[in-house]
Structure 1
Amino acid sequence: MIALLVLGLLAVLAVLALAHWYLWRRLVRDVSAPGGWWRRTGAALAVVLPLLSVGALVGGRAFPLAVERWLAWPGYLWLAVLLYLLMALAVGEALRPLLLRLPRPRAATPPEPKPKTAPAPDLGAAASAASAAVDAEAPGLETTTAPPSAVPSPARRLFVARTLAIGASGAAAAVVGTGAYGVLRGPRLKQVTVPLAKLPARAHGYRIAVVSDIHLGPILGRDHTRRIVDTINAARPDLITIVGDLVDGSVAELGSAAEPLARLRARDGAYFVTGNHEYFSGAAPWVDFVRDLGVHPLRNARVELAGFDLAGVNDIAGRTEGDGPDFDRALGDRDRARASVLLSHQPVTVHDAVRHGVDLQLSGHTHGGQLWPGNYLAELANPTVAGLERYGDTQLYVTRGAGAWGPPVRVGAPSDITVVTLASLQA
């Protein structure tokens, strides 16, 4: 296992080194003169920026939170910029040959001077000269004028290199800046209606607030939690569910950041299930902490509410600690004539939900891919990346989550808090 981790780390470092060498080549070497200030600055950044990113990735395990914050902001943001810089430069590589071959504007041709009157030419002498010229040429060969060189000039190459570098940098900065603003602004409220065949008419219109992947940590803190709580309370739901990945750190470091959860208000209360990141930080202390805040943990357990059963299972990551999901314990002895809603952090557990007759599973975990085109990678590991889908008689709803892991940036996958309205077919 240790050997695999070392090999994985070396592979990551090799990829980072190759990516930064390429960036240095296109954004520094190709656009600046040797020995200039930008050449020296760019070389230093090509070393410092990947080190900051590695520090951000390992900081949670190596440094206290106060130190980790100094690494997380620049290191994670640079990872997002790096991704979109590489994508923009890849487009530039396709455009570069075309830009280098664009015809140059022709210089204005000065007007020809008026011919001066000259004495009549000696036709005999001209004919003799022409004949001598023909005789001087090798027999059977034609003379041609060599075409002008098609190789772009150094000035043209420099202009194209600088144009592509500025364009790629501007595009990456705009994408990352917009994505970071969306995360720091806070999630927006989303409305989804889910019909359940077993839901009684008296529960028609029941509203469940679903929030997942809050990811309190070195970047997102107490203000982030406060925005989420205010958004949920303003929606006035009947029930609040927190579907895992609340934190990236210990209770000692992040307890104060989670405290605003105590202000959550709903008629039937708030419930919590663990996500995989809770097990990176110590799930048991967090379960106790959220209970003290008035949020009820569902650890492979079930409660009966008016009109349906609400169940929750631990995250799959808990299996390494003997604390994984137990569907039989949570759902095995229930009355299947009643509608059921299951809280499970990872969408992949929907197949267990189908086997246990669950009507609706609420999940998170995927972030909707978070950074496009990450959604295509997320599709490889999850049955549903975002939204509502049906698997047999079970419906699965996956929220994109309210926070972000790693870079505080979302592109093509805006954060959300979803209000799921249950609809009865009998109403």
Structure 2
Amino acid sequence: MVVLVFVGLILLAHYYLWHRMVRSTTGPGRPRKALTWGMVGLFVLVVGTFVGTRMELAELGHWLAWPGYVWLALLFYLVLFFLVLEVPRAVAGVFLRLAERKRAAAPVLAPERKRSPEPELKPEPVAVLASTAAPVVEETAPVETVPSAEGAAPVEQVAEKVAPPAPLSRRLFLGRATAAVAGLGALSTVGYGITSALGDPVIERVKVTLPKLDPRLGGLKFAVVSDIHLGPLTGKAHTERIVRMINGLEADVVAIVGDLVDGSVAELGALARPLKNLESRYGAYFVTGNHEYFSPGGFAEWIEELGQLGVRPLRNERVEITHQGAVLDLAGVNDLNGTSQGDGPDFDKALGNRDTSRSTVLLAHQPVQVGEAARHGVDLQLSGHTHGGQMAPFSLVVGLQQPVVSGLATVDGVQVYVTRGAGFWGPPVRVGAPPEVTMLELA
């Protein structure tokens, strides 16, 4: 059902775009047919991209990912701009129609003749034989004299009369003007978004005050990163840059809060290898996100792979972080999507039978898991998943599904920090939500 709904929405978006970019800007003929088939090809490209990148079709996915996902972003913003322009387009149409009616209703005044000072003499009628009537000569363009062969008289060449071009119809004028504005807006937005998504993540520095935190734990620093999304559009340099930025923070703990990969270990293992160079005082930890459960090779192979890279998965479990003689409980739960594969979150296992006088930091991929965290007395939850909306105005939709879209908030008495993530999913585009690596300090 999810696949059918997705394909239906993509088909509807392409039809709307065809109506506004092809039908409204062209007349019947070859250009319209060619553009129509081009729109059909773009629809097939989007569907093929999702099939190639979600299934074990690595070669196909790599070929289609860039054009397919970039077109998907353009499709989204073209539809958005056209929808915004529907009202001004309709208003402009009304004004143009009124102007046309006003011009049509205006009386045509004949030019005044100049009176001659002398009385006009009526010419006497002259009989003209039909056979000798003067021929009617049609008005032509100026006559051009063309030189003939040597020694011959020049030949006069009569140019054909050229009709003036027909005025552009109101429909075509509005259609082309709207398409030009929407196209320019979409191209500019996607171009900016690609630059943002492929650029360096922003370092967000956040201080979180936990009321019952042992004073000796004050100043404990977490490097938080999420949604790296290693996949067909990222390279090894993407991981190396993130590792380099995290190491530059000199954190006590590194927390990777899910959605590390979009593929199997066989396909993406080399891209994850730089994670073995992560540096921190008390280690690097990982919890699964929903995309780990979409991996063609299964989530278990990534759990094993990360362990070999020196990143410890917290699978419904907790560890004690001892800092300056004080203890902090660091817990992690699996993502909600693991439930269908028998690997769902278990808060009782992760947080049960602990010393409740100690502060607890929970790693949970989705912010919505804060409800269970509150029931188990968690002080701070670190999450990702939302990408901060990734492409505005998607943040409005994400806000309907998750209690926090990005940043620090308090939900049910639990402080939740949601990172925008350091990568991207689908289109390599971020608008209004730049990639992020967070330096979070406890106080």
TM-score by length of 1: 0.83
**SS of structure 1 residue aligned to 2:360:** strand
| Equivalences for residues 338-417 of structure 1 within 5 A | 338-417=358-437
**SS of structure 2 residue aligned to 1:420:** strand
| Equivalences for residues 92-171 of structure 1 within 5 A | 92-100=85-93, 101-102=95-96, 116=115, 154-171=168-185
Aligned residue for 1:76? 69
Moved more, 54-63 or 281-290: 54-63
Aligned residue for 2:23? 29
Query: How far has the Cα of 1:60 moved from its partner?
Result: 3.0
**SS of structure 1 residue aligned to 2:403:** coil
Pick closer, same or farther for the CA change 1:97–1:399 going to 2, 3 Å.
same
Asked if 1 retains the 8 angstrom alpha-carbon contact of 2:388 and 2:419, the reply is yes
Query: How far has the Cα of 1:30 moved from its partner?
Result: 2.5
Query: How far has the Cα of 1:58 moved from its partner?
Result: 2.0
Query: How far has the Cα of 1:230 moved from its partner?
Result: 1.3
Task: List per-residue Cα deviations over 1:117-151 (Å, max 9, x = no partner).
Answer: 7699xxxxxxxxxxxxxxxxxxxxxxxxxxxxxxx
Question: For 1:43 and 1:220, how far apart are their aligned partners in 2?
Answer: 32
Asked if 1 retains the 8 angstrom alpha-carbon contact of 2:331 and 2:350, the reply is yes
Q: Percent identity?
A: 52
Asked if 2 retains the 8 angstrom alpha-carbon contact of 1:186 and 1:224, the reply is no
**SS of structure 1 residue aligned to 2:343:** coil
Question: For 1:265 and 1:346, how far apart are their aligned partners in 2?
Answer: 25
| Equivalences for residues 136-285 of structure 1 within 5 A | 154-281=168-295, 282-285=298-301
**SS of structure 2 residue aligned to 1:32:** coil
* Structure 1 stretches of 4+ moved >6 Å: 117-120
Question: For 2:264 and 2:12, how far apart are their aligned partners in 1?
Answer: 35
Asked if 2 retains the 8 angstrom alpha-carbon contact of 1:213 and 1:401, the reply is yes
Question: For 2:316 and 2:382, how far apart are their aligned partners in 1?
Answer: 15
The answer as to 2:57 corresponding to 1:64 is: yes
Query: How far has the Cα of 1:417 moved from its partner?
Result: 1.0
Question: For 2:36 and 2:188, how far apart are their aligned partners in 1?
Answer: 24
**SS of structure 2 residue aligned to 1:28:** helix
Aligned residue for 1:16? 10
Pick closer, same or farther for the CA change 1:279–1:81 going to 2, 3 Å.
same
Match of 1:43 among 36, 52, 61: 36
Question: For 2:441 and 2:303, how far apart are their aligned partners in 1?
Answer: 27
Task: List per-residue Cα deviations over 1:390-409 (Å, max 9, x = no partner).
Answer: 13432111111111111121
Query: How far has the Cα of 1:251 moved from its partner?
Result: 0.7
Asked if 1 retains the 8 angstrom alpha-carbon contact of 2:225 and 2:421, the reply is yes
Question: For 2:208 and 2:55, how far apart are their aligned partners in 1?
Answer: 44
Question: For 2:224 and 2:7, how far apart are their aligned partners in 1?
Answer: 38
RMSD: 2.6
Question: What stretches of structure 2 of length at least 5 have no aligned partner?
Answer: 104-110, 120-166
Q: Which amino acid aligns with 1:170?
A: L
Query: How far has the Cα of 1:315 moved from its partner?
Result: 1.2
Pick closer, same or farther for the CA change 1:201–1:178 going to 2, 3 Å.
same
Question: What stretches of structure 1 of length at least 5 have no aligned partner?
Answer: 107-111, 121-152
Asked if 1 retains the 8 angstrom alpha-carbon contact of 2:256 and 2:285, the reply is yes
Task: List per-residue Cα deviations over 1:256-298 (Å, max 9, x = no partner).
Answer: 0111111111111211111111111111111111111111111
Query: How far has the Cα of 1:244 moved from its partner?
Result: 0.5
Question: For 2:187 and 2:174, how far apart are their aligned partners in 1?
Answer: 20
Question: For 2:359 and 2:9, how far apart are their aligned partners in 1?
Answer: 49
Query: How far has the Cα of 1:166 moved from its partner?
Result: 1.1
Match of 1:288 among 304, 309, 313: 304
Pick closer, same or farther for the CA change 1:46–1:63 going to 2, 3 Å.
farther
Asked if 2 retains the 8 angstrom alpha-carbon contact of 1:369 and 1:375, the reply is yes
TM-score by length of 2: 0.81
Structure showing the higher helix proportion among its residues? 1
Asked if 2 retains the 8 angstrom alpha-carbon contact of 1:212 and 1:244, the reply is yes
Aligned residue for 1:300? 316
Aligned residue for 1:130? none
Pick closer, same or farther for the CA change 1:339–1:18 going to 2, 3 Å.
closer
Question: For 1:63 and 1:288, how far apart are their aligned partners in 2?
Answer: 20
Question: For 1:59 and 1:411, how far apart are their aligned partners in 2?
Answer: 25
**SS of structure 2 residue aligned to 1:228:** helix
Question: For 2:76 and 2:54, how far apart are their aligned partners in 1?
Answer: 24
Query: How far has the Cα of 1:229 moved from its partner?
Result: 0.9
Find the structure with the greater CA-based Rg: 2
Alignment length (residue pairs): 383
Question: For 1:192 and 1:401, how far apart are their aligned partners in 2?
Answer: 15
Moved more, 52-61 or 353-362: 52-61
Question: For 2:33 and 2:392, how far apart are their aligned partners in 1?
Answer: 33
Aligned residue for 1:126? none
Q: Which amino acid aligns with 1:237?
A: A
Question: For 2:253 and 2:55, how far apart are their aligned partners in 1?
Answer: 38
Question: For 2:4 and 2:48, how far apart are their aligned partners in 1?
Answer: 15
Q: Which amino acid aligns with 1:19?
A: A
